[in-house]
Amino acid sequence: MTSLSARNETLHELMDDPDCDQTRLRATLKRFGLINPVIAGWRGVYRSKLLPYLTSLGRPARVLDLGCGGGDVTAHLADLAQRDGLSVEWVGVDPEPTAFEVASTRSRENLRFVHADAAGLLAAGERFDAVISNHVMHHLGDDLPEFLALSQQLSSGPVLHSDIARSRRAYALYAIAITPFAPGTFLRTDGLRSIRRSFTARELQELLDQRMPTPWHITTPGAFRVLAEGPGHA
């Protein structure tokens, strides 16, 4: 029986393998556009966190999505901001070539994608009004604090990292619900491994309290979700 009592960092997702099937990887990245609106919960985070802040600036803003994958979350947020009449440049970055390729097909005015990582952006002198990520934290091990610190250095405002919250119920429901969407992709195998690699809210809070020099606030904004919120230092 699969144990979910502790985070399993030894598991590796198939799509993280540089030698994985590229056809299946592209299909997975594209299909995230159907899956993430249901499970990622960014509409609520946008309404409660990003919208009030971006509105308060009273000027055009820049928002960065770190590890944007296929770019669907970045594009979704760009749509929401446009409907609200905000002037925002959305930038999605990912160091994985195929992810960048797929994300780039979503490019349009005020929405662009860059083949880069956080360290590269920082070295290039890039700075943003807010930084976000979706489903990145569970991929990381001991390098999570460094990733969070880099994200803070890139932002002059809020830093919001959203991810899955590990639980038996999340695992069981995902295993059933994802099956119709899984053929030809890594969605089922990698999704279940993602849940097993993910943090609970308590685990994540304790880790960041121990490892981060400035306070981070961990909340559960929706079912099976954790949100790490920290201050920008740019």
- Rounded to 5 degrees, φ, ψ at 9 are -85, -10
Residue type, 6: A
- Is residue 80 included in any domain, yes or no? yes
- Is residue 194 included in any domain, yes or no? no
Task: State the chain's mean pLDDT as an integer.
Answer: 96
In the sheet with 130-134, reading across from the earlier edge strand, the strands are 111-114, 88-93, 61-66, 130-134, 158-164, 225-231, 217-219
Q: Are 225 and 146 contacting, i.e. CB atoms less than 8 angstroms apart?
A: no
CATH number at residue 65: 3.40.50.150
- Is residue 183 included in any domain, yes or no? no
pLDDT value for 1: 54
Write out the residue range of the structural domain in which residue 148 sits: 21-165+200-231
The DSSP element (H or E) to which 161 belongs, if any, is: strand 158-164
Domain count, the chain: 1
Phi-psi region of 71 (alpha: psi -120 to 50; beta: other; left: phi over 0): left
Residues 6 or more apart whose Cβ sits within 8 Å of residue 210: none
- Is residue 101 included in any domain, yes or no? yes
Q: Provide the pairing of β-strand 158-164 with 225-231.
A: antiparallel
pLDDT value for 50: 98
pLDDT band at 110 (very low <50, low <70, confident <90, very high): very high
pLDDT value for 63: 98
* pLDDT tens profile 203-216: 999 999 999 999 99
Q: Are 158 and 53 contacting, i.e. CB atoms less than 8 angstroms apart?
A: yes
Q: Are 218 and 208 contacting, i.e. CB atoms less than 8 angstroms apart?
A: yes
Report DSSP letters for 27-75, one per residue. Answer: HHHHHHHHHHHHHT-HHHHIIIIIHHHHHHH-S-EEEEEET-TTSHHHH
- Is residue 86 included in any domain, yes or no? yes
Task: State yes or no: pLDDT of 156 exceeds 80.
Answer: yes
- Is residue 4 included in any domain, yes or no? no
Count Cβ atoms within 10 A of the Cβ of residue 91 and give its class: 0-12 exposed, 13-18 middle, 19 or more buried.
buried
The DSSP element (H or E) to which 149 belongs, if any, is: helix 144-153
- Whether the model clears a pTM of 0.75, i.e. scores above it, the answer is yes
The two structure tokens encoding residue 86: 């905000």
